[in-house]
Amino acid sequence: MASVTVTSGPITTSLLPPARSATTLGRNCCSLLPPSPGLAYRRARRRNNVAASTKLVVRVARTESKGVSLGSRAPDFELEEPLTGNIWKLEDFESYPALLVMFICNHCPFVKHLKKDIVKLTNFYMKKGLGVVAISSNSVVTHPQDGPVFMAEDARNFNYPFPYLYDHSQDVARDYGAVCTPEFYLFKKDGRRPFELVYHGQFDDSRPSNNVSVNGRDLSLAIDCVLSGQPLPPNQKPSVGCSIKWHPEGNV
């Protein structure tokens, strides 16, 4: 930067930077002047309003799983796994003593909140003989981020140990009575008898904004009971999450 030498005497105005109006200074984000108390307050209010509106979206989106008759049979399905292109059917799990069917998706904050722990839990129990499958039934018309390509990425990024299937027609979600993500169905199998529903409840008490740590207590207790042949606790809390995104009418 070129230096300017000023001789003795008053500095001429030609060497001074042009004067800026208060409006210009107010627009200048790099101003060295601290913001006025009123401006700082308004900025804080805006930040708080944004945070509050974000939490409100999560609360409004909450949907509880509905009552499904315990003891009912697992509905059949035949769905593609986007990651591998393989087709999976209910009968592929016939050799397992118990089967966990999960309705999840990519974008839902309730699912994101549990993803890593779902992987940990399923890895642990699959080694003990549990069959596991996850299904996404969300419409790609309204939520393209939940489509097959992104499902494959999600399965790869989180190292899902279970097949993650896409229910394009949404018929499987309807057959199971699924209404939210995540939603968990635990079935047991006795010999040649069909899979029988024994647990339809939450993962645990943790939610995205309630500061309760994720531990998978409710679901893991149910799985332990099934694999050990013990009766399940009668009180099952419903799962809570985002509603399944159904196709708009005429867009199937």
Residues of the chain short of pLDDT 50, as ranges, are: 1-34, 37, 40-41, 44, 48-60
What tokens appear for 54 in the block?
Answer: 């974000």
* Whole-number Å distance between alpha carbons of 210 and 228: 32
pLDDT at position 47 is 53
User: What number of residues does the chain have?
Assistant: 252
pLDDT at position 64 is 73
The pTM score is 0.75
pLDDT at position 6 is 38
pLDDT at position 8 is 40
Question: 122 and 211 in contact (C-beta within 8 Å)?
Answer: no
pLDDT at position 208 is 94
pLDDT at position 190 is 85
pLDDT at position 103 is 98
